[in-house]
Chains A and B, each alone.
Chain A
Amino acid sequence: MSQKVRLRIFWICAAGFACIYFLVAKNLPPWGHYRGPYGDVISSLSVYERHATDVVNAIDYDYRGFDTLAEEFILFTSVLGVMMLLRPPERKATPSATAEESMSPAVQLAALPCFAILILFGLYMSTHGQLTPGGGFQGGVIIASAPMLVYVAEHFRAFKRITSHPLVEGLEAAGAAGYAVIGVTAFAAGVPFLTNWVPLGVTGKVFSSGTIAAISACVGLEVATAFLLLSYTYLAEIIADAGKTK
């Protein structure tokens, strides 16, 4: 099928899809007329029941924590899959010369405080998810962006030294497993998987809301290391290709 024919058939089918989609969407409840009491109930319950002022995280890591465990493993599996598909054959041994050039001292100087701030802000995000918007997923991504600065200001080799360390992979797995382990500890207390059984603490304090905070920290570790591994794997692929074509 040529590109032209393919597109032509696609637009006809897409028109069919659009008709069905709008027919159904037109019958949705009108804007603002929320059907379920679920959101209202959780909003009013989560502070009282879980001492968590951020309702989104209370849902993510407690009420529907089992969904999030699987979501975390989707990320874990994606990284595992990418690393397997792009696993290094011998050709990646020769990074090109561009991998060695660093930026000017001015950029390096500017990057240094940014690096510290990013790490600090990421840690803050991961550990305060139960109190304010944020949490492990967001905090992890922020932490992972700090070594990117090293790549921008220094060079690939410096970035590689951080991200290709075997420890990163171990930490990633530990973050993923940590969530499940927290779930299993509930068995010791004789309650179902992922029950928030530890003391809930004082609402508004950092050490509050029980396992929500612990899970958030685990997820932060997993997401930060997962993004490091991903960016390293992709960058190594690109740089090896660039070195090859030279």
Chain B
Amino acid sequence: MTISPALPVALPMLAAAAIAGVRRWLSRAVVDAVAILTAATNLVMCALLLTRSWDAPIVYWFGNWFPRGRMVLGVGFVIDPVGAGLATLAALLMLLALIYSSSAMESGDNHYQPLMLVFLAAMSGFVLTGDLFNLFVFFELMSTAAFALCGLKVEEPAPLQGAFNFAVTNTVGAFFTLTGLAFVYAATGALNMAQIGSLLGSRHDTLVIGGYLFLITGFLIKSAAVPFHFWLADAHAVSPTPVCVLFSGIMVELGLFAILRVTNTMFRASMGPPHTALRDVLLTVGAVSAVWGGAMCFAEHHLKRLLAFSTISHAGAMMMALAVNTPAAIAGWLVYLFAHAMAKSGLFFTAGILLHRLRTMSEPLLFARGTKLRFTAALWLLGGCALAGLPPFAISLGEELTSSATKHSDASVVLMAAFLLSGTLTAAAVFRVFMRVFCGWGDHGPADRSAEVDELPEMHEQNRVIPARMFVPALLCVLFGTVPFLLPQAVSWSGVAAARMLDQQAYIRVVYGQARSAVAQSSLAADVWSALLHSLLAVACGAALAAAAVFHKAVPRRLRWASHMEGSMVWMRSLQSGHAGDYVVWTMAGFSLLGTALFLLR
């Protein structure tokens, strides 16, 4: 029996409705069990779809509406290895998050689990679909579930504020995307991505560029690119730990995926080479995000916000891979995405354990209080090394593949520098926390009032020993993060998946049921030694920076750059004002800049 591609969406929806309908009468254990079982089933189904999509993409027409000639009547899923792989990753993270939160975490009278399941259904649909409007609908569904999950801890005003900023900025983003969709429909009269792609061809006029610009602005907001990133830190600071894991581990990356999907299925011939405007713009946005996020990460002392800024930095680095958009770069993007998802999820779970044990997320308040938590300390340190890409963690492998795609071009230097800065700054922040909290070195560090918020306990119970449902997900994330490095085929597999993703003509042929493309072979190989060298450099720089901040008294007064970076980036931090109106202003500014650049460079 083959699994229907509709099930990864339909099953969590059904389970969510079933739980929500009778949630008053169900015990917590039953609700948790149903949710976990559903996520696990989704994981298996998506993994099976991944293996099935390997030979040729699966095309699935809902309602049995096959295209008539060149015209697509209904909605179709087009499942390629990248889409199925991301659906698998989403299900995996959801499973870990639900295990982490089971039995003891505040669930808002059993509202939390159905919302999580709808979130999962939306993410699955988002990556599997081959229809532009369907993509938008799942984008909305994903956002709706995410807004609510973000505000789960309603007893405090802060979560509602964070959820509100998140909702406002992302709804503005949805308006941009919907406007872009309307422009694209006006230009082509089609909603299926393959049909739009074949109708647009290499058309490169104002309407097409404008439609593309509006479309991706919404996705740029979702992927937290500077200056659209402000909501992300606010949302992460207030969300429960498992929700943070999903936001950072997969939701932000799905914004990047949408840009990749939209660009390659519809606009590859019209916006891609020989036009370089898009490449340059995305490269700039990515580089700025990587550095800005890294600097803000190092200047932050609330652990969840710190990790959130690191996500902005890494999403920027991943955006640069999208900008290059060659099979090698996208293969690197895939490896990077997986490794980052695992590293960041592991760190968030570990932060959740800290919150559970020590009741705060503020670095100054946590000073030297984690010295007895050996196991948590090890997880945190490994997470930091993973962010810097130290083998066997695979981020550096992704960086290496991506930069190998730009050898001998001017982009190569920008790429290397941004990767190094992103890895160094984010790892330095994590190492600094490690030294202060777990080793008790140095002093409290600079006072940071914004980090000292009252944290409500997430869990209903107190225990001396960390329960297995909390540390096992963290440990698994750290272990899974090494898979692409230890599995020798991983690089060539991602090469094949990336080559599939980028072949617009093959995609269109498959959707129209014509010749199935032969399995692409990939001879991609990463230079492991170079990756090792780069990551060692990032780890060394990060550790040095962290040590310089922690032992700032030992550094000559004139050379205290590290503590300066840590304590007084006032104007950068003042932009993060927490006012939704400000964030919308920056969104408009970013859109105007982006649009001007795309139109002037055309």
Residues in A whose Cβ lies below 8 Å from that of B577: 1
Cβ-closest chain B residue relative to A189? B64
Cβ-closest chain A residue relative to B107? A84
Q: Which of B114-122, B461-469, B501-509 contacts A (4 or more CB under 8 A)?
A: B114-122
Residues in A whose Cβ lies below 8 Å from that of B68: 41
Judged by a CB distance under 8 angstroms, whether A130 is at the interface is no
Q: Are A16 and B596 in contact, with the CB atoms below 8 A?
A: yes
Residues in A whose Cβ lies below 8 Å from that of B189: 34-38
Judged by a CB distance under 8 angstroms, whether A205 is at the interface is no
Q: Are B17 and A35 in contact, with the CB atoms below 8 A?
A: no
Judged by a CB distance under 8 angstroms, whether B513 is at the interface is no
Q: Report the separation of the CA atoms of residues A166 and B21 in the bound assembly, to the nearest whole angstrom.
A: 9
Q: Contact string, A51-91, partner B, CB cutoff 8 A, digits 1/0?
A: 00000000000111111011101101110111111110100
Residues in B whose Cβ lies below 8 Å from that of A89: 155
Most buried by B among A64, A71, A183, A187: A64
Q: Report the separation of the CA atoms of residues A67 and B137 in the bound assembly, to the nearest whole angstrom.
A: 7
Q: Are B595 and A170 in contact, with the CB atoms below 8 A?
A: no
Cβ-closest chain B residue relative to A3? B581
Cβ-closest chain B residue relative to A41? B71
A20-B210, A84-B111, A169-B20 are known contacts. Are A73 and B121 too (CB-CB below 8 A)? yes
Residues in A whose Cβ lies below 8 Å from that of B450: none
Residues in A whose Cβ lies below 8 Å from that of B64: 191-192, 195
Judged by a CB distance under 8 angstroms, whether B112 is at the interface is yes
A6-B582, A80-B115 are known contacts. Are A172 and B21 too (CB-CB below 8 A)? yes
Q: Contact string, A131-167, partner B, CB cutoff 8 A, digits 1/0?
A: 0000000000000000000000000000000000010
Residues in A whose Cβ lies below 8 Å from that of B71: 37-38, 41
Q: Report the separation of the CA atoms of residues A23 and B206 in the bound assembly, to the nearest whole angstrom.
A: 8
**A168 to B: closest C-beta gap in Å:** 10
Cβ-closest chain A residue relative to B129? A66
Q: Are B599 and A81 in contact, with the CB atoms below 8 A?
A: no
Q: Are B596 and A80 in contact, with the CB atoms below 8 A?
A: no
Q: Which of B327-335, B363-371, B383-391, B584-592 contacts A (4 or more CB under 8 A)?
A: B584-592
Name the one of B141, B148, B596 contacting A85, with C-beta atoms under 8 angstroms.
B148
Q: Which of A99-107, A113-121, A174-182 contacts B (4 or more CB under 8 A)?
A: A174-182
Q: Contact string, B109-135, partner A, CB cutoff 8 A, digits 1/0?
A: 101101100100110010000010110
Most buried by A among B24, B64, B125, B599: B64
Q: Report the separation of the CA atoms of residues A41 and B70 in the bound assembly, to the nearest whole angstrom.
A: 12
Residues in A whose Cβ lies below 8 Å from that of B488: none
Q: Report the separation of the CA atoms of residues A81 and B118 in the bound assembly, to the nearest whole angstrom.
A: 11
Q: Contact string, A29-55, partner B, CB cutoff 8 A, digits 1/0?
A: 100001111100110000000000000
Q: Count how many chain B residues have C-beta atoms less than 8 Å from C-beta atoms of the other chain.
A: 82
Judged by a CB distance under 8 angstroms, whether B84 is at the interface is no
Name the one of A70, A77, A172, A194 contacting B148, with C-beta atoms under 8 angstroms.
A77
Judged by a CB distance under 8 angstroms, whether B266 is at the interface is no
A13-B588, A13-B592, A80-B111 are known contacts. Are A192 and B62 too (CB-CB below 8 A)? yes
Residues in B whose Cβ lies below 8 Å from that of A19: 592
Cβ-closest chain A residue relative to B22? A170
Judged by a CB distance under 8 angstroms, whether A28 is at the interface is yes
Judged by a CB distance under 8 angstroms, whether B75 is at the interface is yes
Q: Report the separation of the CA atoms of residues A184 and B13 in the bound assembly, to the nearest whole angstrom.
A: 12
Residues in B whose Cβ lies below 8 Å from that of A42: 73
Q: Are B74 and A64 in contact, with the CB atoms below 8 A?
A: yes
Residues in A whose Cβ lies below 8 Å from that of B148: 77-78, 80-82, 84-85
**A40 to B: closest C-beta gap in Å:** 10
Q: Are B210 and A9 in contact, with the CB atoms below 8 A?
A: no
Q: Are B10 and A177 in contact, with the CB atoms below 8 A?
A: no
Q: Which of B48-56, B179-187, B218-226, B313-321 contacts A (4 or more CB under 8 A)?
A: B179-187
Cβ-closest chain B residue relative to A76? B17
Cβ-closest chain A residue relative to B136? A67
Residues in B whose Cβ lies below 8 Å from that of A63: 63, 65, 73-74
Judged by a CB distance under 8 angstroms, whether A200 is at the interface is no
Q: Are A193 and B62 in contact, with the CB atoms below 8 A?
A: yes
Q: Report the separation of the CA atoms of residues A70 and B179 in the bound assembly, to the nearest whole angstrom.
A: 20
Q: Are A81 and B588 in contact, with the CB atoms below 8 A?
A: no
A28-B186, A36-B185 are known contacts. Are A74 and B140 too (CB-CB below 8 A)? yes
Cβ-closest chain A residue relative to B114? A80
Q: Report the separation of the CA atoms of residues A63 and B68 in the bound assembly, to the nearest whole angstrom.
A: 13
Judged by a CB distance under 8 angstroms, whether B484 is at the interface is no
Name the one of A16, A192, A194 contacting B595, with C-beta atoms under 8 angstroms.
A16
Judged by a CB distance under 8 angstroms, whether A173 is at the interface is yes
**B127 to A: closest C-beta gap in Å:** 14
Residues in A whose Cβ lies below 8 Å from that of B137: 67, 70-71, 74
Q: Are A62 and B63 in contact, with the CB atoms below 8 A?
A: yes
Name the one of B24, B111, B207, B213 contacting A166, with C-beta atoms under 8 angstroms.
B24
**A199 to B: closest C-beta gap in Å:** 16
Residues in A whose Cβ lies below 8 Å from that of B378: none
Q: Contact string, B144-159, partner A, CB cutoff 8 A, digits 1/0?
A: 1101100110110000
Judged by a CB distance under 8 angstroms, whether B415 is at the interface is no
Q: Contact string, B3-23, partner A, CB cutoff 8 A, digits 1/0?
A: 010100110011011101111
Judged by a CB distance under 8 angstroms, whether B138 is at the interface is yes
Residues in A whose Cβ lies below 8 Å from that of B145: 77, 81
Residues in B whose Cβ lies below 8 Å from that of A62: 63
Judged by a CB distance under 8 angstroms, whether B404 is at the interface is no
Q: Please list the 9 inter-chain residue pairs (A to B) with the smallest Cβ-Cβ separation, ordered nearest first.
A: A36-B189, A81-B148, A173-B21, A16-B592, A24-B210, A193-B6, A177-B17, A13-B588, A84-B111
Q: List 20 A-B contacts (CB under 8 A).
A: A1-B577, A10-B581, A16-B592, A17-B595, A23-B210, A24-B210, A36-B185, A67-B131, A73-B13, A74-B140, A77-B115, A77-B141, A80-B111, A81-B144, A169-B24, A173-B18, A174-B21, A187-B4, A192-B63, A195-B62
Supplied contacts A16-B592, A24-B209, 17 more A-B pairs, CB within 8 Å: A6-B585, A13-B585, A35-B188, A36-B188, A41-B71, A63-B63, A64-B74, A65-B63, A70-B9, A71-B137, A77-B118, A77-B141, A78-B148, A81-B148, A87-B111, A174-B21, A177-B14
